Amino acid sequence: MDIVWENPKANQETAERLMRSAEKSDLYVLPEMWNTGVTTEPQRVAPSPEEEGSSSLQWLQRMANELDAAVAGSMAVACPLPAPPLGECQYRNRLYFVKPSTSSGSQALPQRRSGEGAVSFYDKHHLFSYGGETEHYTPGGEYVTVEWRGVRFHLSICYDLRFPLWLRNKDNYDVLICVASWPAVRTHAWNVLLQARAIENQCYVLGVNRIGKDPYCEYSGGTAIVDPFGFATSCPDNEAFALTQTLDLKRLKAFRDKFPVLKEQDSLL
């Protein structure tokens, strides 16, 4: 999708239109900071976790409920500092994985880093220093895997894709999700890295990127679903598009049983 700069309402409308136009799915994945674009001024757009009347988190929960599916996407959030001075906060690039909720209230359920509960999240670990992200955001330090309808999803964001040790499959996930705002000038690297992560981790990779432009870069898309053998199905370049595919978990298990790469990786990892 093309992301309207710092305009959550417009981006919610675009995402909802694309999601409802797609084939019915168990999981919908949106690009990095899908609701505002990747900004180096998070204080302008980031709600606190208590507020997340970030209509945006409530919107993710509503879509999950209405579509009876999980919805994943990252956004900037403000987190209170764990120690004084009181009232100050740090900012995180947070990838939410939101499952349908049985709650009838308008507020999203409590957030958890683990894969349990309706709202799980991962905070981006490798911040993009080249683009100034390290000056405005605090990195996360937790490796987060979420289980949904019998499938184990590992969460990552954009620049994380370049760090294979951080994304190493310890035989504890089936699908790697990487949401991104990956510039068009580095499209070749994006394509190669998606394939490499799928092959070395014997997993499916869902690489979800944006199109359009923001004040810093231009984006051509390249959203792709890569199978464990490294073969990709991709969106058309520079086009708003919903890519849908069924993941063959039986085929994945048979491949891992026959060719046990994950069981033979170096023990020091």
Amino acid at site 116: E
Q: Which of 32, 99, 133, 178 is catalytic?
A: 32
In total, the chain counts a number of residues equal to 269
Bond before 85 cis per omega within 30 degrees:
yes
Active-site option among 52, 158, 178, 235 = 158
Residue 124 falls in the annotated catalytic set = yes
Q: Which residue has the tokens 């001075």?
A: 85
- Torsion from C-alpha of 128, 126, 37, 39, nearest 10 degrees: -50
**Catalytic (active site) residue 24:** no
Identity of residue 12: Q
- Nearest-CA neighbor of 71 among 97, 94, 45, 38? 97
For residues 164 and 186, what is the distance between their CA atoms, to the nearest angstrom? 18
The one catalytic residue in 52, 99, 124, 133 is: 124
200 is catalytic: no
Residues known to be catalytic: 32, 124, 158
